[in-house]
Amino acid sequence: MRILKSGITTIQDQGRFGHRNRGLPVSGFMDPLAARLGNLLTGNESNAACLEISRGAFSASFGRTCLLALTGKGFDAYVSGKPIPFYQPFLIKEGEFLQLFPKETGFTYLSVHGGIRSTPVYGSRSTHLASKIGGMNGRPLRSGDHLPITLIPDENGQRIIDYLLKETHHHQVRLSLSVVPDYSSKEVRFISGPEYHWFSGEALGFLQSSGFLPSALSNRMGSRLIGPELQRINPSELLSQAVLPGTMQVSPDGQLLILLADAQTTGGYPRIGQIIQADLHLAAQQSLDTPIHFKQVSLDEAEKLLLAQEKQLLQLTRDYYLYFS
């Protein structure tokens, strides 16, 4: 694959685990659900490295026929001038061009059968820009980059390719809307954080009754939200404590901060909540012009929601490969 126009694009997988004691973040997909669905559609393991495209136009050419899928949100896609739907496997042939044009805020994932075969660093191909590791020499992609991809499809990939090569089957395989992430949902669920009771009853009420608008001050590390001031009743200073993707902190001026995929390993702001794992994709894909509404759930409910999501993905994987057998 040759990058012709990159926008802001990095190579990501599920992240690098087991190195937080060194201060190294997990990193990985901002929207893990979308990326996993893209890997499913292209016959990959869920941890296969994809391209994460977030801003600016993107285009790439291919030296041979490849099995691809696009998931997430934020872009319109075309191959040789023809629109390509998201959440649907498709083939791009030798000499054809894939083009993506931004239409809204969001992260789009380009999955390629076999994954992007960059060199792993600490067990992951994910790009972490701050430490300049992973991906393509720890940096965003740029025009002229050549990305290594699998030359020989595996059994599952070959079955999907053979099916799509039949002229009558080009547009017959698409995920049901029931399993595609609903990014129109503005409700993000959370469990209480370690310093939840440091805040006044009024602040805790605001947290669930008010809308919080994502600001332009956001990146892969986190997002600052604009909303009512969340006042503390405990004025104590907090020593740096563990944080992770989804941690909801409150800054000294009472504003809410959400940590995302490249979140640091420790932080000194009080942690009012933790976004549940099953909703991390919604937190990452919020639009700048639409408020987020938070709903508190119990730890037990958070676990049940994650198990239900994982069960659905497992069943979907079985059904998808059975379709081509």
Average pLDDT over residues 247-270: 96
Does 166 share its domain with 205?
no
Closest CA to 272 of 243, 303, 315, 304: 243
The 10s digit of each residue's pLDDT in 185-222 is 889 999 999 999 999 999 999 999 999 999 988 899 99
Q: Binning pLDDT at 50, 70 and 90, where does residue 171 land? A: low
Percent above pLDDT 90 for the chain: 83
Asked if the structure places residue 46 within a domain, the reply is yes
Instruction: Give the per-residue pLDDT at 291.
Output: 94
Average pLDDT over residues 53-76: 95
Does 177 share its domain with 192?
no
Asked if the structure places residue 313 within a domain, the reply is no
The answer on pLDDT for 80 being more than 90 is no
The 10s digit of each residue's pLDDT in 90-144 is 999 988 999 999 999 999 999 999 999 999 999 999 999 999 999 999 999 999 9
Average pLDDT over residues 84-90: 95
Average pLDDT over residues 163-177: 78
Give how far the C-alpha of residue 311 lies from the chain's centroid of Cα atoms, to the nearest Å: 19
Contacts 24+ apart (CB under 8 A), 136-139: 136/11
Q: Binning pLDDT at 50, 70 and 90, where does residue 169 land? A: low
Asked if the structure places residue 27 within a domain, the reply is yes
Does 59 share its domain with 138?
yes
Asked if the structure places residue 314 within a domain, the reply is no
CA angle, 40 then 174 then 126, to 5°: 30
Distance separating alpha carbons of residues 194 and 252, to the nearest angstrom: 17
Does 91 share its domain with 237?
no
Does 37 share its domain with 177?
yes
Average pLDDT over residues 58-87: 94
In this structure, of 163-167, 256-260, 271-275, the range with the lowest mean pLDDT score is 163-167
Q: Binning pLDDT at 50, 70 and 90, where does residue 170 land? A: low
Instruction: Give the per-residue pLDDT at 63.
Output: 87
Q: Binning pLDDT at 50, 70 and 90, where does residue 88 land? A: very high
Domain boundary among 163, 181, 199: 181
- Name the more confident of 107 and 174: 107
Strands of 256-259's sheet in order across: 213-218, 222-226, 256-259, 247-250, 271-275, 187-192, 293-296
Count up the domains in the chain and report the number: 2
Asked if the structure places residue 324 within a domain, the reply is no
Percent above pLDDT 70 for the chain: 98
Average pLDDT in the chain = 94
Check residue 233 and report its DSSP letter. S
Domain interval for residue 217: 187-299
Closest CA to 244 of 12, 8, 38, 17: 17
| CATH number for position 254 | 2.40.100.10
The answer on pLDDT for 166 being more than 90 is no
Does 135 share its domain with 14?
yes
DSSP letters, 64-83, are: S-EEEEEEESSEEEEETTEE
- What letters, b where the CB count within 10 A reaches 16 and e where it falls short, cover 188-207? bbbbbbebbebbeeebbebb
Does 174 share its domain with 278?
no
